[in-house]
Amino acid sequence: MEEVKRKELAEELEGIVGAKYVRADDVTRWTYAIEDFGSSFFYPLSARYGPPDMVVKPHSAQEVSRIVKLANAHRVPIIARGGGSDMTAAATPLKKLGGIILDMTDMNRVIDFQEGLNAVRVQPGIRWGELHHELAKKGVTSGVRGPHGFLGGTLGGGIGGNCFSINSPKYGWVNENVLNLQVVLPNGDIIETGSLANTKVKDWYYRYCNGPDLVGIFLGAGGAFGVITEFTMKTYPIPEFSDTLVYSFPDIDSELGFVFKLEWYGYVTELWGIAFFTLPDSLKRIVGPLLGERDIVVFATEAYDKGVFKAQKKAIDRMAKEFGGTVVPLEGLMRALGISIIDTTEWEGGGTFGKVMGPNGQDTCSIASLPQWPKVVGSALEIAKSDPEALSGSIPMIGADHFFLFAQLLGRGGVSNTFAMTPVDFSDPEKLKKAQELYRDIVESYMDTGAAALYRIGKESQYLMKRFKPEYISFMKTLKKALDPNNIMNPGVLGLGLEEE
């Protein structure tokens, strides 16, 4: 954007939100040209992404509406952004288009809590840690505890990015818990969905009412169809009884069979699965003598009643034995220390990934059906091992310097999540370039088995467009054109609004 136009637009925005909440200087703009660590993998060599033209902090849906109308008048892109810990590039502008970033982190209030309805109404800029804190005061939980973005990630980014979550095996993905939305449409209209579309309803939160479920098109859309300014989500009672259990299994098929049944019976809240063959040699040398060359499942189980809890654990034990499972006796230790994998977000400091696992070039996740998991993991490993030198760097915590693959089995609905992560040597541009190419291959393999989260999928439309059915693409484009004829809402996300490419 030309400097003169930038200045004029900034002045107009100041008239809406106040001068304190508009920034158009280079330093601020560049600090918004990055997301989670996946970004740092790409930016040095990327000509595709860049800084916004300015950053604005709105405080209400009305302010967002006025900003969107202004952006429409000037044909300037709008990109809503929360904690900025997303990895999909949905919250970073395309370099050639720039745009206005709406930093939503001041729209961070809990607006209402409906005890009788077990629902909470929040603004999208609220961070996960704050939501847990506020709900704990009411003696309830959101169930889903948040994505990798740790406690600093915002809920708005989570629902816009279709994120899975800690505790998804029990409570589903975050978006399965969303009831109503308040959305500022690309023309500036403010709509409310579900039960709140009824003018007579003020405080009853339900998703499916008198008409189609319009919530769905905004969830996971990366802001392509509007800016979410409020939403309601389910809350749950906090289970009184909880334990973290660990079992080992003789092979992957047994492990998968157990995980599927465990989730199907509703016994599991959160679960991590590790396949022995995916571990780097350094870890195999530690784990092998301790547990044998077996595959491990670590999971949390919960109940509201002591009797039910005891019976549930017995049933789990029977189920594990059915698949050749053996108890790894860590339950007592975890309980004595007062920790559980349910608190996964609290387990880690922000630097855990970088400092413990090494200077991460990238990680990426596959979302696929549970039985596909060995195939997904196998092909990712094969690609990575095709050039281990490219994916090398020091991982001080485990003494490894090559590919490291960590696998999480989400379980929910038979869905697996393969979490691949490697160190990368940033100081060697050639090596870095090769590493990027290998990662692209891994993402391609993930996409062939279902979906890939992260890795800039949000705006790397080539992964999506060559796999989506033409009728599906056409329908999305029709929606986009109808709602956003000037193509101002986060152009590029999901491959929408970039017809010229």
Partner 1 sequence: MMRLEKCAPEVWICNHCSMCSDTISDESGWYRTCPVYRQLRFEDSSARGHNTIAFYLLEGSLKYSKRVADCVYDCTTCASCEEVCKPFGNVVAKIGGSDLKTMVPPIMSAFGAALDPLQSVEIVEAMRADCVDLGLQPEAVKRMAASTEKNYNPYEEPHANRLKWAEGLHIPQTADTVLFVGCTSSYRRQEIAVSTAKILKAARSKFAVLPDEWCCGSPLLRTGNVDLAEKMVKHNVALLKEKKVKTLVAICAEGYMAISRDWPKIAGELPFKVWHISQLLAQLISAGKIKFKRPIKAKVTYHDPCHLGRVMGVYDEPRAVLKAIPGVRLVEMYPTKHAAWCCGAGGGLKESNPGLALDIGAEKIPLIKETGASILASSCPFCKTNFLDVIEKAREPIQVKDVTELVAESMGV
Q: Does 354 contact partner 1 by CB under 8 A?
A: yes
State in angstroms the smallest separation of the CB of 68 from partner 1.
21
Phi, psi of 240 (to 5 degrees): -80, -30
Q: Does 15 contact partner 1 by CB under 8 A?
A: no
Pairing of strands 78-81, 100-103: parallel
**Owner of token pair 């989400």:** 410
Q: Is 38 or 497 the residue whose CB approaches partner 1 more closely?
A: 38
Q: Does 351 contact partner 1 by CB under 8 A?
A: yes
Q: Does 234 contact partner 1 by CB under 8 A?
A: no
Provide the 10 A C-beta neighbour count for residue 463: 19
Q: Does 143 contact partner 1 by CB under 8 A?
A: no
Beta pairing partners, 244: 300
Q: Is 125 or 495 the residue whose CB approaches partner 1 more closely?
A: 125
Interface pick for partner 1 out of 9, 13, 24, 36 (rule CB under 8 A): 36
Q: Does 353 contact partner 1 by CB under 8 A?
A: yes
Q: Does 133 contact partner 1 by CB under 8 A?
A: yes
Q: Does 460 contact partner 1 by CB under 8 A?
A: no
Beta pairing partners, 102: 56, 80
Q: Do residues 501 and 459 lie in contact, with contact meaning Cβ atoms separated by under 8 Å? A: no
Q: Is 31 or 478 the residue whose CB approaches partner 1 more closely?
A: 31
Q: Does 139 contact partner 1 by CB under 8 A?
A: no
Cα–Cα distance between 369 and 394 in angstroms, integer? Answer: 33
**DSSP symbol at 314:** H
Which run of H or E residues covers position 264? helix 252-264
Q: Do residues 492 and 80 lie in contact, with contact meaning Cβ atoms separated by under 8 Å? A: no
State in angstroms the smallest separation of the CB of 361 from partner 1.
9
> Contacts with partner 1 in 209-228 (CB under 8 A)?
none
Interface pick for partner 1 out of 70, 120, 142, 150 (rule CB under 8 A): 150
Q: Does 31 contact partner 1 by CB under 8 A?
A: yes
Q: Do residues 366 and 446 lie in contact, with contact meaning Cβ atoms separated by under 8 Å? A: yes
Q: Does 426 contact partner 1 by CB under 8 A?
A: yes
Q: Does 240 contact partner 1 by CB under 8 A?
A: no
Q: Is 237 or 350 the residue whose CB approaches partner 1 more closely?
A: 350
Interface pick for partner 1 out of 349, 388, 429, 485 (rule CB under 8 A): 349
Give, in order, the Cα–Cα distances in Å from 260 to each of 163, 257, 266, 385, 391.
21, 5, 10, 29, 32
Q: Which amino acid is at 267?
A: Y
Which are the contacts of 406, defined by CB distance < 8 A and separation ≥ 6? 274, 278, 419, 420, 421
Q: Does 103 contact partner 1 by CB under 8 A?
A: yes
Q: Does 339 contact partner 1 by CB under 8 A?
A: yes
Stretch that binds partner 1, among 32-40, 274-282, 291-299, 404-412 (CB under 8 A): 32-40
Q: Is 355 or 466 the residue whose CB approaches partner 1 more closely?
A: 355
Which are the contacts of 203, defined by CB distance < 8 A and separation ≥ 6? 112, 114
Q: Is 172 or 358 the residue whose CB approaches partner 1 more closely?
A: 358
Cα–Cα distance between 153 and 345 in angstroms, integer? Answer: 11
Which are the contacts of 412, defined by CB distance < 8 A and separation ≥ 6? 164, 168, 169, 170, 172, 173, 263
Q: Does 317 contact partner 1 by CB under 8 A?
A: no
Q: Does 419 contact partner 1 by CB under 8 A?
A: no
Q: Does 429 contact partner 1 by CB under 8 A?
A: no
Stretch that binds partner 1, among 142-150, 170-178, 300-308, 435-443 (CB under 8 A): 142-150
Stretch that binds partner 1, among 234-242, 333-341, 441-449, 458-466 (CB under 8 A): 333-341
Phi, psi of 190 (to 5 degrees): -105, 120
Cα–Cα distance between 92 and 109 in angstroms, integer? Answer: 24
Give, in order, the Cα–Cα distances in Å from 33 to each of 26, 113, 424.
11, 35, 21
Q: Does 32 contact partner 1 by CB under 8 A?
A: yes
Residues in the site for partner 1, rule: CB under 8 A? 21, 23, 25-28, 30-37, 39-40, 43-44, 51, 55, 57, 83-85, 103, 105-106, 127, 129-130, 132-133, 136, 148-153, 337-339, 343, 345-356, 359-360, 396-397, 426-427
